[in-house]
Amino acid sequence: MPRVGVLAGHWALLNQSVDWKGAEYLQVRRVRDLVGSSHMETWKLFEPLGIALGLGLLVGMQRQRTDSRIAGIRTFPLITLLGSLCALLAQSYGGWVLGVGLGGMSLLILVGNLSARRVDDEAPGVTTEAAMLVLFVVGACLMAGYTAVAITVGGAVAVLLHLKPEMHALAAKIGDRDFKAVMQFTLISLVILPVLPNRSFGPYGVLNPHKIWWMVVLIVGISLGGYLMYRFAGTRLGTLASGVLGGLVSSTATTVSLSRRTRKAAGTEGMVAMVILTASAIVFVRLALVIAATAPAFLPAALIPLGAMFGVLAVLGLLLWRGQKDQPTPVLEQENPTELQPALVFALLYALVLVGIAAAKEYFGQRGLYAMAVISGLTDMDAITLSVIQMVNDGRVGQETGWRLILVASMSNLVFKGAMVAILGTRALLKRITLAFLVSLGVGAGLLWAIS
């Protein structure tokens, strides 16, 4: 910054000259540009400082409302500004400035807590102290140019502090079964996935352990989200939401569970049929989410057929719901989707489908692919969908063939669920489901014939 004054002096002297020609003129232009750029750099420093001030005020306001003993609406903005200024000085004098600033912050927190303990003997928490340290680093990140990260973290800190009662209530509500599900998902996603080799093995070069397990993480994650929402909300969400969450977890398991229930609870067939149709419709939303996460370029081609199948099943489900509003909401018995054994079974199934599709394409061409889609889709839509997505990504099949294979597999899955209703449910349930599934199969066949 001192060079700005020196350059300004040079600029004043040069301005006294009236004969700007040749090299002298170019020299003047260089000095003028340098002075101007220095002023621009100075003004740009106020942007991160302003954001730091705003984030500090946001968090400080929240702490002030909770009567924090050591930091409030004035202290937190000072902390973020301190972090930003330390980061600014560190650019010229070295990173030790940041270390000294952070150490000073820790000392201030210690002194503040000792002073507070003299007045109040109650054991203090460390939430505010942790927020102070985080906000100091947020201020430093802003000056270092990590604006988006700093704003996100600062906003997240404010939200976490504000939602203290809700988060405590959530932690108290989580039972051993739910906590086990979260920990098992952590094992699946953060322990097993990183150590798997990311290269292809086996026949046709389609077995990549890392990619296969990543698909397991994706499917288990979606299922876990639906499972936890249903566990926490239960039947309070209503019948429609029960069908939605059942489709996110497993539409096939939902169909089997509720079909059995109608044998013991006569007169609930209408509401059960509505839940099964809703869960079957949500399958296509689930497939769209999987495609969007793994092959976004493929999504536009698959969206029309998936949307059409979702629409027809959703409309049929709503028609049933309008006539069955007064019936009680059926309670679903959802299995924990994060158990390691089912995850391993799915990984094995997915690997077999990958090899089977590659072999079918090599020996039987397109007909072999459709045969595999029919067989694989009977009991599980995820494995065949992910296999088709991988083939589309690798360029082994076109996007049109890809959505057709997924649609054929979904139609096969509807046939399988209809068979489960016939075997496990009542005749009244079968009558309602058969009509709805036949209409859906007709729409699917029409899509295969009409869209080219």
Q: What is the value of pTM for the model shown?
A: 0.64
* % of the chain at pLDDT higher than 70: 79
Nearest to 370 by CA among 420, 410, 340: 410
User: What mean pLDDT do residues 321-329 have?
Assistant: 59
CA–CA–CA angle 249, 405, 210 (5° rounding): 60
pLDDT digits (tens, 9 = 90+) for 39-73: 446 667 788 888 888 888 888 888 777 766 677 78
The domain of 9 spans: 2-44
229 and 377 fall within a common domain = yes
163 and 241 fall within a common domain = no
CB burial string 117-134: b at 16+ within 10 A, e below: eeeeeeeeeeebbebbbb
pLDDT at position 327 over 60: no
User: What mean pLDDT do residues 253-277 have?
Assistant: 79
Q: Which residue has the tokens 């000085």?
A: 89
Given this model, what pLDDT does residue 403 score? 93
Give the C-alpha separation, 300 to 354, whole Å.
23
Distance from CA of residue 136 to its chain's centroid?
28
- Domain final residue, candidates 169, 185, 209: 169
39 and 50 fall within a common domain = no
40 and 50 fall within a common domain = no
**Confidence class of residue 14 from pLDDT cuts 50, 70 and 90?**
very low
Given this model, what pLDDT does residue 325 score? 55
Nearest to 373 by CA among 409, 326, 413, 418: 409
Please give the C-alpha separations between residue 206 and each of 358, 394, 400, in angstroms, as whole numbers: 8, 10, 21
426 and 312 fall within a common domain = yes
Contact 420, 439 (CB under 8 A): no
Nearest to 50 by CA among 126, 119, 117, 150: 150
103 and 240 fall within a common domain = no
39 and 83 fall within a common domain = no
Radius of gyration of the chain (CA): 31
Residue 113: CB atoms within 10 Å: 15
Given this model, what pLDDT does residue 446 score? 92
Given this model, what pLDDT does residue 19 score? 46
Given this model, what pLDDT does residue 405 score? 93
Which token pair is 249?
């977890």
- Domain final residue, candidates 118, 136, 169: 169
136 and 179 fall within a common domain = no
Contact 416, 374 (CB under 8 A): no
pLDDT digits (tens, 9 = 90+) for 85-133: 988 888 888 888 888 888 888 888 777 767 666 555 555 557 778 888 8
Give the C-alpha separation, 357 to 426, whole Å.
37
226 and 314 fall within a common domain = yes
Strands (E), 158-221: none
Beta bridge partners of 207: 201
Residue 211: CB atoms within 10 Å: 18
- Domain final residue, candidates 169, 184, 203: 169
355 and 341 fall within a common domain = yes
Give the C-alpha separation, 170 to 99, whole Å.
37
Give the C-alpha separation, 207 to 57, whole Å.
52
How many domains does the chain fold into?
A: 3
Give the C-alpha separation, 22 to 412, whole Å.
82
393 and 291 fall within a common domain = yes
Contact 94, 74 (CB under 8 A): no
81 and 154 fall within a common domain = yes
